[in-house]
Amino acid sequence: MYKRTLSKGIFALGFPLAAMMGTAHAAAPEMSAEEMDRAGDIYFQRCAGCHGTLRGGATGPDLLPETTQELGQRRLESIITLGTEGGMNNFDGILDEEEITLISKYIQQTPEEPPEMSLSDIRDTWKILVPQEEWPTEPQHDRNWENFMVTILRDRGAMGIIDGDTKELVTEAETGYAVHVAKESSDGRFWYVQGRDGRLSKIDLWMDPPQATAEVFIGIDARDVAVSHYGEWKDKYVIGGAYWPPHFVIADAETMEPLKVVSTRGYDTEGNYVHEARVAALYNTPHAPSFLVNVKETGQIWQVDYSDLDNLRVDMIESAEFLHDGFLDPTGRYFQIAANFSNKMVFTDTVERKRVGMLETGQIPHPGPGANWIDPECGPVAGTPHLGEGRMTVWGNDPEGHPDQAWEICFSVETDGPGLFIRSHPESGNVWIDQAMHPEADVNQWVMVMNKETRELTPIHVADRPAEHDAVAVHMEYDQTGTEVWVSIWARGRGHQDDGAIVVYDDKTLEVKAVIDGLHTPTGKFNVYNRKNHTG
């Protein structure tokens, strides 16, 4: 059965790793069952997101035996230790030498796929943590909860709730491991977070302190979540998407009871069958009762109509492999997503339910939560950094007002290194860009701030931390007023994970206003007011 454990690895539901492995390739290094279990945990935590549960590759290349054995143990250890200029970060300081040796041996073994999960299996994991009759009818604290920063504490397996007015850490709400993103209810009170271990949690910000009210494991390895915000279905459904098994689960947004599971296995844009067709990203559409389910390996954007779960309508929109992160334009009609290993951005009209554009960008685009703003030449635009090079690419996204610019590149600017996230605000004159994927500290500890009018870049040194902290500056978020920018210092070094921080900047002067220290591996941050109002 799917017994939960405290493991932070792929077997958070109780699957023994050694039992899942097939016969090792003839040339694979020998490993004991204990070593396999330990290496499997490391692989899940640090590698599976880019290279796949079955190691078939996506954002990163495949790690199958025919590839890894040819590289050899020594070369694999060097790559893992030092990283690459193509977007893989260095792991020295994150993993010790013994762990690097271990994972290098592990990826030379023959992978075998984990078990499936039925709707019944998923229901067995469903837990009510706080009964609905005990929920408060009004906030139980006097804090400005709409200016809370709901913050991922990645390796802690929790969400830090930070008061944006006082800069105090209010609480750490227990969630799944390595939450990838958080999504809000329509009023911003409830937050739904999807852990990489498959745990989907619902947090109530009105409680004192805020805490999870219910949870369910929708898979073994998962990434994203979305909440229905349209019409009579407002806050009725929540959807969680899994990397493994490749499926999505629709649950009751109030109780978190799982209602429906749908496989995403299928065919890619060239007609090849894809067994590990992972759900990369999920979004609600503001103009229709539907979720966008982005299937990474097939390049299919599924617009799933939730108005009738018994007669589920799914519009399959073909784009390009490998779908990853995306965001809506300011009108909420057009969806913009990276097909990152195809070096493309893809654009979908969620009203017409069809693709309307696709363009070549730089190497491996990764917009994260994205940014929309007004450019003096091109009008409304949006942009993305890249995992594979130091570049921000900007395109027009106003087909009604600026049809000649729509879905075409407006301009690009060079940064010092590859990054993960970009962020702006309608009241700001700036666009903030991180460089977290560069392997060197003299780049990844800095962010770039671009002036919207002049397109000039100003470098800001954020993460002034010693080498052993392996700290990078990552992910920007504006506060409720749009005058402050919060940047995470993600300290990943062994024994230094609690040395993370958030640096708060004045967006106009670019001067430091506050530093929130002592945070355990802080990464993404989500301001309640901005997110519920779709600001930025």
Q: Which residues are catalytic?
A: 47, 50-51, 88, 324, 366
CA dist., res. 64 & res. 77, Å (int): 16
Number of C-beta neighbours around residue 518 at 10 A? 9
CA dist., res. 64 & res. 56, Å (int): 7
- Look up residue 275 and give its two tokens: 């067994």
Contact predicate 243/33, CB 8 Å: no
Q: How far is CA 144 from CA 141, 206, 290, 479, in A?
A: 9, 10, 31, 12
Using CB atoms within 10 A of its CB, is residue 112 exposed (0-12), middle (13-18) or buried (19+)? exposed
Number of C-beta neighbours around residue 42 at 10 A? 19
Contact predicate 473/464, CB 8 Å: no
Cβ-proximal residues to 468 (8 Å cutoff; 6+ apart), any chain: 93, 493, 495, 496
Number of C-beta neighbours around residue 491 at 10 A? 26
CA dist., res. 108 & res. 157, Å (int): 29
Helices (H), ranges, 83-183: 97-106, 119-124
Place of tokens 């592990």: 106
- Look up residue 80 and give its two tokens: 């893992």
Closest CA to 436 of 393, 479, 385, 372: 385
With H, G, I as helix, E, B as strand and everything else as coil, classify residue 106: helix
CA dist., res. 216 & res. 199, Å (int): 6
Q: Which run of H or of E encompasses 493?
A: none
The letter for the amino acid at 273 is: Y
Roughly how many angstroms between the first and final C-alpha of the chain, as a whole number?
44
Contact predicate 465/515, CB 8 Å: no
Q: How far is CA 350 from CA 141, 238, 263, in A?
A: 39, 19, 22
